Amino acid sequence: MNEVIGIIIAAILCWLNFVIVDTYFGLPEQSGVRGARIIGKDVEKRGGDIAGGFFQGNILCSPDASAGTLMASIGYMLLGIPGGIIAAFLVFIGNRLCADPGYAGTTGCLTATAIIFLTSFIGLTPEMFIVGMVIAIFTIMGIDQAKVSVVLGKIAKKFNRHARE
């Protein structure tokens, strides 16, 4: 498959994977640590959504499904499916060191491994997923935090995971 098209497809799949898993496991609902809450309040002050702000803060402060997807792609590139599972194990250790229960990270890692395995039949390589995941995180954190947080807040509302206030 053409590399550019593959990277675009991989970026979309990664974005959906980690946003859905993270939202389902309640990242927008509450801030796990103090740093995440400060980021959330700051994003809200700049015209964003508090739930989206907590989401971004939690992604920044501990390895969640975003880091899980990235680590799973790297592990899969190096060692195949066992690499993805080892990545889930390492993400779990990292979660516990960051005072995070770790459900989102490990689940995201395993689902990402499954997605990479399934899409390898249509010609997507793990390298495309690494690049795609970097692009996906860039769209969440890098372009316009306030506007993206509004979108994330809407997704959170749809999953019934909006911040309780």
Partner 1 sequence: MAYIVAIVCSIVVALVLRLPLLPSKPYRYSFDVSALYPTPIIAIGILSIFLVLNYTFMYNGLVLAAVIGVLSALFVKYLFDFVFPKPLDENAGEDMNE
Residues that bind partner 1 (CB under 8 A): 25-26, 30-34, 36-37, 79, 81-83, 85-86, 88-90, 92-93, 96-97, 99, 101-103, 106, 163-165
Residue type at position 10? A
Q: Which is nearer to partner 1, 81 or 135 (CB)?
A: 81
**How would you label 28-67 residue by residue, b for 16+ Cβ within 10 Å and e otherwise?**
bbebbeeebbebbeebbeeebbbbbbbbbbbbebbbbbbb
Contacts of residue 2, defined as CB under 8 A and 6 or more positions apart, other chains included, come to: none
**Minimum distance, C-beta of residue 85 to partner 1, in the bound complex (Å):** 4
Q: Do residues 24 and 161 lie in contact, with contact meaning Cβ atoms separated by under 8 Å? A: yes
Question: For residue 121, what is the DSSP state?
Answer: G
Torsion-angle region of 125 (φ positive above 0: left; ψ -120 to 50: alpha; else: beta): beta
Q: Taking the complex as a whole, how short is the minimal distance between the CB of residue 160 and partner 1, in angstroms?
A: 12
Smallest separation (angstroms) from partner 1 to the CB of 6: 26
Nearer to partner 1, 45 or 96 (CB): 96
Least distance to partner 1, CB of residue 82, Å: 4
In the complex with partner 1, which residue's Cβ is closer, 75 or 132?
75
Q: Which is nearer to partner 1, 94 or 135 (CB)?
A: 94
